[in-house]
Amino acid sequence: MAYEAQYYPGATSVAENRRKHMSGKVEKLREVSDDDLTLVLGHRAPGSDYPSTHPPLAEMGEPECSVREMVEATPGAKAGDRVRYVQFVDSMYNAPSTPYFRTYAAAINFRGVDPGTLSGRQVVEARERDMEEVAKFQLETEMSCPALASLRGATVHGHSLRLPEDGIMFDMLDRCRLENGVVIMHKDQVGRAIDKKVDFGKPMSEEEAAKRTTIYRVDNVAFRDDAEVIEWVHTIFEKRTAYGFKPE
Amino acid sequence: MVDPTTNLEDLIQIEICPARFLSPETAQELLNELTNIEGITRAFIHGPRLPTTVPYGPATGHDVDHKFSKTIKIGETELDLAVIFGRIRLEILNEEVRENIREVCERTLPMGYEFRQGLFIQKRQTVSDYAKRGPNADPTTLGLADPKGKVGNRVCMLNPAE
């Protein structure tokens, strides 16, 4: 019998969603075109070539190295792309993903990425076209809700604040707005105005967000409701403590 | 305006914290309803700042033009919102006023709110207040603005003394 990776314990919807995010088997909910993605990332003009920091690997003549022979370079590394970043922010009010699970999703399912996990934001650094692949995956699937998650290169503090009346996570730089029932982004991820309003579609309803979230909350699925998760957390805590204990 | 004969120690302080940040329209409606209630001596709106330009990052200096950064009208007074309406702290005369305010909240805040009584606006000068404003500072502005900031455009008198 072939081994199947097991990602996360638990029987609740939150545990199931966490497994989905980690395994990358998530539902695609919306389409974001390449040009729209380039616009909101703000690293280069849409349609322009990827600027490079070194010639393509094929032209460089790499040294003889067994590791280089075993591991194929990512498309971005092969082409010599610059390293660029994408940063997501997820509201604490039942956002679909969280920094930890965005990081798991990136690190498990993509190569050549450097995810950074912080309390309120999650950044992925990678060669530009590899980074865009991760960003597109996370934006188009159920890992993001246009109202409760957003692309923010700077100024992320809205994640921990109450939602405004329209349900769009507070943003000091006002990058996303609700217009005619859909969420549009009219600035790039650092707050520079862009030429076009990028449409990210309808926000999730409160019920749908509660169903798709990876956040345990007392007012939705409480952490303590999931006996298997608690058991594993206790096990890991106990073992970490026991192995870290060094009497002298 | 606090009547100079009123003892500051007898005033009640309450805080109203809506379940959601209020849009300028709802904030204006709530504030207008509150101004119709007799017996509120001071009010303090609290919430995250709405900057006019991007303060840091690669876009520093670009205009923000925030959707919540609007001018609201309270009675005849116009007020530029420098923060999004997160919560309001009020200093009131007595418990009857408190119940009137609770009724207004029931009407204007359908999203739900927390309503509590406590000490939210300081009653005595701190060292910073003293250093900034001196010994004879106006007691009405005490605790309403950062003593290290500029008071001018942050404190609004709705019914200035004649």
Task: Write phi, then psi, for A129 (nearest 5 degrees).
Answer: -75, -25
Confidence of residue B142 (pLDDT cuts 50, 70, 90): confident
Please answer yes or no on whether A155 and B84 come within 8 Å at the CB atom.
no
- Per-residue model confidence (pLDDT) at position A247: 74
Separation between Cα atoms, residue A94 and residue A203, nearest integer Å? 12
User: Does A153 reside within a domain?
Assistant: yes
**What are phi and psi for residue A88, nearest 5 degrees?**
-110, 150
Look up residue B132 and give its two tokens: 């900034």
Contacts of B87 in chain A (CB under 8 A): none
Place A149 in a pLDDT band, splitting at 50, 70 and 90: very high
What rounded mean pLDDT belongs to chain A?
94
Tokens 């919430």 map to which residue? B47
End-to-end CA distance of chain B: 10
Name the residue of chain B whose CA is nearest to A93's CA.
B20
Work out the percent of chain A whose per-residue pLDDT is above 90.
Answer: 91
Q: How many angstroms separate the most distant Cα atoms in chain B?
A: 53
Regarding predicted confidence, which is higher, B143 or A122? A122
**Interchain contact, A154 vs B59, CB within 8 Å:** yes
Kindly report the CATH number assigned to the domain that includes residue A50.
3.90.320.20
Please report whether residue A2 resides in a domain.
Answer: no
CB contact under 8 A, A165 and B20: yes
Residue B136 CA to residue B45 CA, distance in Å, equals: 25
Show residues of chain B in contact with A147, CB under 8 Å: none
Asked, for residue A28, whether it belongs to a domain, the answer is yes
Q: Report how many domains make up chain A.
A: 1
pLDDT at residue number B131? 84
- Residue A192 inside a domain? The answer is yes
Q: Which of B23, B28, B60, B67 has the highest number of chain A CBs within 10 A, making it the mutation to test binding with A? A: B67
pLDDT of residue A1: 77
Q: Which domain holds residue A200?
A: 13-242
DSSP secondary structure string for all residues of A165-231:
TTSS---TT--EEEETTEEEEEE-TTS-EEEEEEE--PPPPHHHHHHH-----TTSS-GGG-HHHHH
Q: Which two tokens stand for residue B123?
A: 């009653």
Place of tokens 């670009």: B62
- State the Cα angle at B89 between B85 and B90, rounded to 5°: 125
Q: What is the pLDDT of residue B162?
A: 45
CA A213, A216, A222, A227 torsion: positive or negative? Answer: positive
The closest CB to that of A172, out of B26, B51, B111, belongs to B51
Predicted interface score ipTM higher than 0.90: no
> Is A247 among the domain residues?
no
Q: What is the pLDDT of residues B62-95, one digit of tens each?
A: 999 999 999 999 888 888 888 999 999 999 999 9
B121: exposed, middle or buried (Cβ count in 10 Å: 0-12, 13-18, 19+): middle
Residue matched to tokens 């966490």: A18
As separate numbers, helices (DSSP H) first and strands (DSSP E) second, chain A gives: 9, 7
Q: How far apart are CA B54 and CA A51, in angstroms?
A: 27
Place of tokens 């003394």: B161
Under an 8 A CB cutoff, do B68 and A164 touch? yes
pLDDT above 90: residue A248: no
pLDDT at A134: 97
Q: Sheet harboring A182-187: ordered strands across?
A: A176-179, A182-187, A193-199
In order of their start, the domains of chain B are 8-121 (3.30.70), 126-156 (no CATH)
Q: Under an 8 A CB cutoff, do A165 and B23 touch?
A: yes
Instruction: Flag whether A55 is in a domain.
Output: yes
What is the rounded CA–CA span in Å between residue B143 and residue B33? 23
| Cβ–Cβ below 8 Å for A154 and B48 | no
Q: Report if residue A171 sits inside a domain.
A: yes
- Closest CB to A191: pick one of B50, B62, B111: B62
Q: Do A192 and B62 touch (CB under 8 A)?
A: yes
| Residue with the larger pLDDT of the pair A109 and A120 | A109
With a cut of 70, say whether residue A83 has pLDDT above it.
yes
What does the pLDDT read at residue B1? 45
Q: Amino acid letter at B53?
A: T
Enumerate the residues of chain A whose CB falls inside 8 A of the CB of residue B27.
Answer: none
Determine, yes or no, domain membership for A4: no
pLDDT in tens, A15-40: 999 999 999 999 999 999 999 999 99
Question: A-side interface with B, Cβ within 8 Å?
Answer: 153-155, 157-158, 161-166, 170, 172-174, 177, 188, 190-193
Region of poorest pLDDT, from A142-146, B70-74, B105-109: B70-74
Chain A residues within 8 A of B67 when measuring between CB atoms: 174, 177
